[in-house]
Amino acid sequence: MSRMQKLAQQFNQFFGYQGTHECHAPGRVNLIGEHTDYNGGFVLPAAINFGTDIVAAKRDDNKVKVLAVDINEEVSEFALNDIQFDEQYSWSNYVRGVLIALQKVFPKVGGADLAVSGNVPQGAGLSSSASFEIAVLKCFASLYELPLDGVKAALLGQQAENEFVGCSCGIMDQLISAMGHKGHAMLLDCESLDIAHSSIPAALDLVIINSNVKRGLVDSEYNTRREQCETAARAMGFKTLRPATMQDLQASKDKMSDAEYRRAHHVITENQRTKDMFDALNAADMATMSRLMGESHVSMRDDFEITTSQIDYLVEIIGDVIKEQGGVRMTGGGFGGCVVSLVPKNLTEAVKQVVNEKYEAKTGLKASIFVCSAEQGAFAG
C-alpha cells in the first residue's frame, strides 16, 4: 500500500467518508548557492522524493478541520473568517497562515477536511515547512478550481511563513516545491524569480547525509550573517550584494570589517559558482561539478563560517571516495544539518559504508543517509 493509499484510508476512518482529492508537494535539497537567496542571488535546488501528502474534501461550511496523522493524530479546527495563531498545535499555523494569504487573493475559498502526512526528515534542513505550505495551496486550488500558478503559490507560501508563522525565509524552498522538474535541478534567480532547469546526469544518485548535529545557534547566527551582508552591500553603494563584483569588493575593502568582507566574498563567488554549476550539470561535466561543490564548501567554512567540524569531516570522507567523479558540500543554513552529494551510482554503497564506519567513531554521532531522486513540483504540471 502506498503512503497516499494509507492516508486515504486514515481520512476515511477519521472523517467517515471518502476524500475526493489527493495532493503531494516535495521537500528539497539545495545543490549549490548557500545564503545567496536573501542577497538577491542564485540558487540551484532540486525537489526530492520526500514530501507532504494530503487527502482532502470540500465542506459545505467555512470550517477547516485538519488531521495530522504523524503527530499523534492531533486535530486542529478553525473557521476561515476567524483564523488565530495556535499556540498549542504549532504545526497548524502553516495551514492557517497559508489560508489567510490565499483568501486575500481568492476571497470565496470555502472549508475543507484534510488528512496530512509527511516524510521529510524533521530538522534536517530539507524544507518540510515549504512542502507543507505548497501541498495545502495545491489542495485548495484543486478543491476550488482556483487559477493559481506555481510562482504565485510559492509567494503565498513565503508570505504565510514570513507574516504568520514568523520565519523570515527566502523564496527558494516554496518555489522548488511548486516548480521542480523530475530528474532536474532548478536555477532560480531570487531577484527576478526567473527559473531554468538543468538535467541531473542519470548516472548520479542524490545522496543526503544528515549529520544529526543539534543546530543550536542557527537563528541568531543567521540574522548576524544577513546584517553583515547588508552592511557590506551598503559599503559598496548597493541595496543587496546581487550587483556586486569582486572589483567592487576590493575597492571597498577598507570600508568594512574583515568579517563583512569575507561574508560578501562568499556571496559574490557563490553566485558565480551556482551559475557555473548549472552549465556543468547540463554538460555532465563531473570534474567541474566536483570542483565547484568543493569550493562552495570551503567558502562556507572559511568565509561564511557556518560549517561544523562534524560536517567538515563528512565532506572529507565522502570526497575521498568519490573524488572528481561526483561532488559534496554542506547544504542549508549551517551549524549542523546536512551534507549533499552527487554520487556515481556505482559508488553509493561505498559512500554509505565509509559514513557508517567512520563518522560515528570520530564524532560520537550516527548519521542518517537518504538516497534521493529529483522529483516533480506540485504545480509543475
Looking at the structure, do residues 37 and 110 belong to the same domain, yes or no?
A: yes
pLDDT range class, residue 214, cuts 50, 70, 90? confident
Q: Give the pLDDT score at 336.
A: 87
Question: Which residues, in sequence order, are bridge partners of residue 32?
Answer: 44
Residue 381 maps to a domain: no
Residue 377 maps to a domain: no
Looking at the structure, do residues 174 and 221 belong to the same domain, yes or no?
A: no
Residue-wise pLDDT for 304-356, tens only, equals 999 999 999 999 999 999 999 999 999 988 888 899 999 999 999 999 999 99
Distance CA 182, CA 164 (A): 31
Residues 6+ apart with CB under 8 A from 220: none
Distance CA 225, CA 231 (A): 10
> Are 109 and 140 contacting, i.e. CB atoms less than 8 angstroms apart?
yes
**Residue from 113, 173, 205, 303 carrying the catalytic annotation:** 173
Q: Give the pLDDT score at 146.
A: 98
First to last CA, the chain: 25
**The domain boundary residue, chosen from 154, 171, 199:** 199
Checking if the pLDDT of 217 tops 60, the result is no
Q: Give the pLDDT score at 99.
A: 98
Looking at the structure, do residues 255 and 270 belong to the same domain, yes or no?
A: yes
**What value does the mean pLDDT take over residues 193-215?**
93
pLDDT range class, residue 69, cuts 50, 70, 90? very high
Q: Give the pLDDT score at 167.
A: 80
Which domain range does residue 27 map to? 3-199
Map residue 125 onto helix, strand or coil.
coil
Identify residue 277 by its one-letter amino acid code.
M
Residue-wise pLDDT for 141-199, tens only, equals 999 999 999 999 999 999 999 899 888 777 899 999 999 999 999 999 999 999 999 99
Looking at the structure, do residues 175 and 259 belong to the same domain, yes or no?
A: no
Looking at the structure, do residues 125 and 235 belong to the same domain, yes or no?
A: no
Among the residue ranges 125-134, 285-294, 360-369, the one predicted with the least confidence is: 125-134
Looking at the structure, do residues 169 and 90 belong to the same domain, yes or no?
A: yes
Looking at the structure, do residues 111 and 208 belong to the same domain, yes or no?
A: no
Output the CA torsion sign for 6, 7, 11, 13: positive
Number of domains in the chain: 2
DSSP assignment of 282-328, as one string? HTT-HHHHHHHHHHHHHHHHHTS----HHHHHHHHHHHHHHGGGSEE
The position carrying cell 559598496 is 236
Q: What percent of the chain has pLDDT over 70?
A: 98
Looking at the structure, do residues 40 and 158 belong to the same domain, yes or no?
A: yes
> Are 92 and 40 contacting, i.e. CB atoms less than 8 angstroms apart?
no
Q: What percent of the chain has pLDDT over 90?
A: 89
Task: Clarify whether 173 is annotated catalytic.
Answer: yes
Q: Give the pLDDT score at 123.
A: 62
Residue 115 maps to a domain: yes
Neighbour-count burial of 154, counting CB atoms closer than 10 A to its CB (0-12 exposed, 13-18 middle, 19+ buried):
buried
Residue-wise pLDDT for 104-141, tens only, equals 999 999 999 999 999 987 666 677 889 999 999 999 99
Give the pTM: 0.93
Looking at the structure, do residues 287 and 365 belong to the same domain, yes or no?
A: yes
Q: Give the pLDDT score at 331.
A: 94
Nearest to 118 by CA among 46, 177, 31: 177
Looking at the structure, do residues 352 and 235 belong to the same domain, yes or no?
A: yes
Output the CA torsion sign for 84, 89, 92, 94: positive
Distance CA 239, CA 91 (A): 35
Residue 379 maps to a domain: no
Q: Give the pLDDT score at 335.
A: 87
Looking at the structure, do residues 183 and 279 belong to the same domain, yes or no?
A: no
Whichever domain contains 68, its CATH number is: 3.30.230.10
Q: Give the pLDDT score at 125.
A: 65
Identify residue 35 by its one-letter amino acid code.
H
Does residue 226 or residue 57 have the better pLDDT?
57
> Are 22 and 88 contacting, i.e. CB atoms less than 8 angstroms apart?
no
Residue-wise pLDDT for 20-32, tens only, equals 999 999 999 999 9
Residues 6+ apart with CB under 8 A from 36: 42, 43, 190, 267, 270, 271, 274
**The domain boundary residue, chosen from 161, 176, 199:** 199
**The domain boundary residue, chosen from 181, 199, 217:** 199
Q: Give the pLDDT score at 381.
A: 73
Checking if the pLDDT of 216 tops 70, the result is no
